[in-house]
Amino acid sequence: TQPTRIAPSLLAADFARLGEEVKNVVASGADWIHFDVMDNHYVPNLTMGPMVCSALRPHTEAPIDVHLMIEPVDAIIPQFAKAGANIITFHPEASRHPDRTLSLIRDHGCQAGLVFNPATSLDWMDYVMDKLDVVLIMSINPGFGGQQFIPGTLPKLAQARRKIDAWVNAGGQSIALEVDGGVKVDNIAAIRAAGADTFVAGTAIFGHPDYKAVIDALRAGIAK
Ligand code: DX5
Ligand code: ZN
């Protein structure tokens, strides 16, 4: 069976104490650190870049999962690789040549993935399956934490799961299926049932005083 992972989103962490937040959440059982990059252009918000990634790198051995919500994409990739990113995902419609961008990410030694907004077609996957390590399905519109999970993304997750399983069954490499937005203790079982194996959660984790209690509860929901 495939591994499942919890990826706390730093977007909901205390930005004045990021190193400490990363340590606490990893000590509480986080598998990946989800690192949201926004440019006030592709999305109407502005967060953090390679310098912050680099500053956090010595504070944890957990994989740093960089979610690029930026346009254009390519120029920043070498900088994030150098800053210690392990996984880099981007929105295909924000890159002029998504196939090239996926190769660029892998050439820099990182795992690569595409991110799909709620209204973006999964067709973008079809001709680049061999270049994907991750597929990230947005269950909200990107830009802000704390939004409501969009239920229409559940059948879409199931569709992505079918594509990945067909690929793996035909001898392809494994591809993580990640979900991002509005993931909570009370909906994670349904999201898991739709096929996700990697779960981003921002406010659900950082908005709670006891990170370990929430992460344990999220895992219990996955195991249901
Ligand atoms: C939003 C980000 C998400 C965000 C999720 O554009 O990509 O990672 O932090 O936050 P919650 O879990 O609060 O919906
Ligand atoms: Zn994200």
Q: Which atom of ligand 1 is nearest to the CA of 143?
A: 6
Q: Which atom of ligand 1 is nearest to the CA of 183?
A: 12
Q: Which two tokens stand for residue 112?
A: 């690569």
Q: Spell out the alpha helix ranges (H) of 33-152.
A: 50-56, 77-82, 98-107
Predicted ipTM? Answer: 0.99
| 39-70 residue pLDDT tens | 999 999 999 999 999 999 999 999 999 999 99
Atom 4 in ligand 1: residue holding the nearest Cα: 145
Ligand 1: residue of 70, 200, 211, 214 to mutate (most ligand atoms within 8 A of CB) is 200
Q: Prior bond to 72 cis, omega within 30? A: yes
CB atoms within 10 A of CB 167: 18
> 31, 39, 65, 180: which is the annotated catalytic residue?
180
Mean predicted confidence (pLDDT) in 180-202: 98
The pTM assigned to this predicted structure is: 0.98
Separation CA 197–CA 173 (nearest Å): 15
Predicted local distance difference test score (pLDDT) of residue 2: 75
* Domains assigned to the chain: 5-223 (3.20.20.70)
* Average pLDDT in the chain: 98
User: Does the C-beta of 142 come closer than 6 Å to ligand 1?
Assistant: yes
